[in-house]
């Protein structure tokens, strides 16, 4: 039996009787109920959208606003509905909105960005207004606004970082560029303007052939192909400039993506014209040579092979932090100043030129200064005197301080391998370290483990406290990770709040579990964020490998990721261990 809705009308008649009329209004009630349910559904949907959604009447009064929109304005929904835009946002914010509202009232959709001033600071919004006409022809406005403050902050930070990097590269007295695999410029520093008279921005997208011409391009193409094949290439060439020509020393370093593919080259050209001029002047008098060397910041050396004594010009002593004066030193004592890692290479190159296998001696190496620091020098020379039997008697040349160049090369290398925020290895260096660990594990039959970690609910930290606080949490998280592992272990940041740890030379899964538990416990102490303490936890996935074969990188990462997923499913703030099964069927084990 189906119930019906009835509407009754009672009318009193003149003879004290009444007349009753009834009609079935069930269909109308069903429509009203459907409308009510649809409105409730609309409210549920819009209240869960992380953006402002609103509907304005012709007189700019709010007919509808969702919960996110009300929270953006710091009010309750019921405090906004029925009030005008001016009342809700205030005169200053309304002034920026009014022209766009007027435009949409004419029937034109509008999308724009603006600043929204609130008591707690400025928020950046991207707003879209859409017109809607009702049955009477009145224009209502549909509003959709996204809070893009975080994006704006990231853009500003990126712009500042790029400006700092540009400031560094533009002040380096050398040509610096980035060349893609098609031999086209993707970056060039300000020195291109100073040396070649060419705006560095005009080089972007141009090929080396286009800039230097067919003949010069043909002479350097061999070096480009070697570098793109994976070698760090050094060579010298004459470079025609806006004024005269420079002799430059060129270094090409390959740039690899996270998969290890070479995607471009870092190119550094140092002006070594002064060195070449000094070498050409070697036959002139000692006074003229001394003046030339001093002006070019080079130090002269002259080795007497018969006595094994080496003479140095005054600039050498100054380079090492001593007084500016000439000096003579025994070769055995000079060798003790060379870095132990570099000495075998230096001695081999000296032997080559002394024996006549090469004409010139050319070596980059480190020497110890008077305060115990290591100074990078470029040492060049040749045998200038031989006896009638061809035995070398004297070897002369120059030493140049290349510490700045080496520091710049190291900086470029760090930028390519280390995470700028935490100083930990990035994904590219992690992949190299993981492959190296697997290879060592196979060679030494030593078990190892891989840990994948992330910070529980890190997005809420960023959303509630801001990205500066989020960055501080990441830095402190990284510090605690380093304190929780051995010096021989690798801690890396893969991106966002995702970290990884490589553990080598283990004996059992329990060692990896002990370290994972230590890490979880290390995060239990509150993180200090200014005047407030923040509770931060982590979830850890552990993949243990008892018998490395050298080719399990992808499988090991997948196992650790599955274990991390299980740690999160287990309530977070814990770790889970997965043990490798067959090659193609990894199964996580708690």
Is the four-CA dihedral 103, 109, 111, 114 of positive or negative sign? positive
**Of the candidates 327, 402, 407, which has an alpha carbon nearest to the alpha carbon of residue 370?**
327
The DSSP code for 491 is E
Average pLDDT, the chain: 86
Q: Please check the confidence at residue 585 and state whether its pLDDT lies above 80.
A: no
Share of the chain above pLDDT 90, in %: 53
Tokens for 31, please give them.
Answer: 């429509």
How far apart are alpha carbons 493 and 425 in whole angstroms? 6
Which residues are 10's β-sheet partners? 20
- pLDDT category of residue 45 using cuts at 50, 70 and 90: low
Given a contact cutoff of 8 angstroms between Cβ atoms, the answer to whether 335 and 308 are in contact is no
| Ramachandran angles phi, psi of 148, nearest 5° | -110, 25
397-412 pLDDT tens trace = 988 888 888 877 777 7
Q: Please check the confidence at residue 233 and state whether its pLDDT lies above 90.
A: yes
Mean pLDDT of 65-92: 90
How far apart are alpha carbons 583 and 531 in whole angstroms? 51
3-state class (DSSP) for residue 553: helix
Given a contact cutoff of 8 angstroms between Cβ atoms, the answer to whether 270 and 440 are in contact is no
Given a contact cutoff of 8 angstroms between Cβ atoms, the answer to whether 384 and 392 are in contact is no
Q: Please check the confidence at residue 71 and state whether its pLDDT lies above 80.
A: yes
Tokens for 197, please give them.
Answer: 């008279």
pLDDT at 172: 81
Highest-scoring range by mean pLDDT, 167-176, 465-474, 577-586: 465-474
pLDDT at 169: 76
- Tally helices (H) and strands (E) across the chain: 21, 25
**Of the candidates 438, 583, 569, 554, which has an alpha carbon nearest to the alpha carbon of residue 504?**
438
Q: How far is CA 334 from the centre of its chain?
A: 42
Tokens for 471, please give them.
Answer: 């960055």
How far apart are alpha carbons 4 and 77 in whole angstroms? 36
Given a contact cutoff of 8 angstroms between Cβ atoms, the answer to whether 152 and 124 are in contact is yes
| Cβ atoms < 10 Å from Cβ of 80 | 20
Q: How far is CA 148 from the centre of its chain?
A: 21
How far apart are alpha carbons 308 and 53 in whole angstroms? 86
This prediction's pTM: 0.38
497 noted as active-site residue = yes
Which residues are 537's β-sheet partners? none
Higher pLDDT, 35 or 60: 60
Given a contact cutoff of 8 angstroms between Cβ atoms, the answer to whether 445 and 437 are in contact is no
* Least confidently predicted of 274-288, 327-341, 376-390, 473-487: 274-288
Given a contact cutoff of 8 angstroms between Cβ atoms, the answer to whether 366 and 401 are in contact is no
In Å, what is the CA distance from 335 to each residue of 218, 292, 393, 565? 41, 27, 19, 56
| HEC readout, 127-139 | EEEEEEECCCCCE
- Spell out the domains of the chain, with CATH numbers in brackets: 1-45 (no CATH), 49-117+124-145 (3.30.450.20), 154-271 (3.30.450.20), 297-408 (3.30.450.20), 418-578 (3.30.70.270)
- pLDDT category of residue 583 using cuts at 50, 70 and 90: very low
- pLDDT category of residue 199 using cuts at 50, 70 and 90: very high
pLDDT at 588: 40
The DSSP code for 119 is T
pLDDT at 10: 77
Cα dihedral value 106, 110, 115, 119, nearest 10:
60
* 302 burial via Cβ count (<10 Å: 0-12, 13-18, 19+): middle
Considering the candidates 497, 531, 551, 561, report the single residue annotated as catalytic: 497
Q: Which residues contact 241 (CB under 8 A, 6 or more apart)?
A: 195, 196, 197
What is the CB-side half-sphere exposure of residue 465 using CA atoms within 13 A? 20
């Amino acid at each position: 039996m189906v119930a019906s809705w009835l509407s009754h009308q009672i009318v009193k008649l003149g003879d004290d009787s009444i007349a009753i009329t009834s009609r079935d209004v069930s269909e109308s009630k069903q429509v009203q109920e459907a409308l009510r349910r649809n409105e409730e559904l609309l409210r549920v949907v819009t209240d869960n959208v992380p953006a402002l959604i609103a509907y304005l009447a012709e007189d700019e009064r709010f007919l509808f606003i969702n919960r996110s929109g009300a929270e953006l304005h710091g009010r309750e929904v019921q405090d906004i509905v029925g009030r005008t835009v001016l009342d809700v946002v205030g005169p200053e914010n309304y002034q920026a909105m009014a022209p766009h509202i007027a435009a949409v009232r004419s029937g034109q959709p509008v999308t724009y960005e603006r600043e929204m001033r609130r008591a707690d600071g400025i928020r950046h919004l991207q707003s879209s207004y859409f017109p809607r006409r009702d049955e009477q022809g009145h224009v209502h406005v549909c509003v959709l606004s996204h809070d893009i403050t975080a994006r704006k902050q990231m853009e500003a930070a990126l712009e500042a970082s790029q400006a700092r990097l540009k400031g560094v590269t533009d002040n380096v007295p050398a040509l610096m560029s980035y060349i893609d695999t098609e031999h086209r410029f993707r970056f060039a520093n300000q020195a291109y303007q100073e040396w070649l008279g060419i705006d560095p921005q005009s080089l972007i997208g141009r090929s080396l052939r286009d800039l230097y011409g067919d003949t010069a391009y043909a002479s350097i193409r061999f070096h480009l192909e070697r570098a793109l094949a994976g070698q760090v290439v050094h060579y010298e060439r004459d470079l025609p400039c806006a004024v005269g020509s420079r002799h430059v020393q060129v270094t090409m370093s390959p740039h690899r993506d996270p998969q290890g593919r070479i995607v471009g080259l870092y190119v550094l050209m140092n002006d070594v014209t002064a060195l070449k001029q000094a070498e050409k002047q070697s036959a002139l008098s000692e006074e003229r040579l001394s003046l030339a060397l001093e002006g070019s910041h080079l130090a002269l050396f002259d080795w007497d092979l018969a006595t094994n004594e080496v003479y140095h010009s005054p600039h050498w002593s100054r380079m090492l932090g001593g007084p500016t004066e000439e000096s003579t030193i025994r070769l055995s004592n000079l060798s003790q100043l060379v870095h132990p890692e570099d000495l075998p290479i230096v001695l081999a190159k000296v032997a080559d030129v002394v024996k006549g296998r090469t004409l010139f001696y050319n070596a980059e190496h480190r020497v110890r200064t008077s305060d115990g620091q290591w100074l990078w020098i470029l040492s060049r020379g040749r045998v200038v005197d031989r006896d009638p039997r061809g035995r070398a008697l004297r070897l002369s040349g120059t030493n140049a301080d290349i510490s700045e160049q080496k520091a710049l090369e190291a900086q470029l290398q760090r930028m390519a391998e280390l995470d700028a925020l935490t100083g930990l290895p990035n994904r590219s260096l992690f992949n190299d370290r993981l492959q190296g660990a697997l290879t060592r594990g196979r060679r030494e039959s030593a078990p190892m483990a891989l840990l994948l970690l992330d910070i529980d609910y890190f997005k809420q930290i960023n959303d509630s406290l801001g990205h500066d606080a989020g960055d501080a949490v990441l830095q402190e998280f990284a510090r605690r990770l380093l304190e929780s592992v051995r010096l021989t272990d690798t801690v890396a940041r893969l991106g966002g709040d995702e970290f990884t740890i490589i553990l080598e030379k283990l004996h059992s899964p329990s060692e990896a579990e002990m370290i994972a538990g230590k890490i979880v416990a290390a995060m239990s102490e509150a993180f200090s964020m200014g005047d407030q303490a923040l509770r931060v936890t982590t979830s850890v996935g552990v993949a243990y490998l008892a018998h490395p074969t050298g080719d399990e990188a992808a499988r090991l990462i997948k196992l650790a990721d599955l274990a991390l997923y299980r740690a999160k499913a287990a309530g977070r703030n814990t770790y889970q261990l997965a043990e490798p099964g067959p090659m193609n069927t990894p199964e996580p084990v708690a």
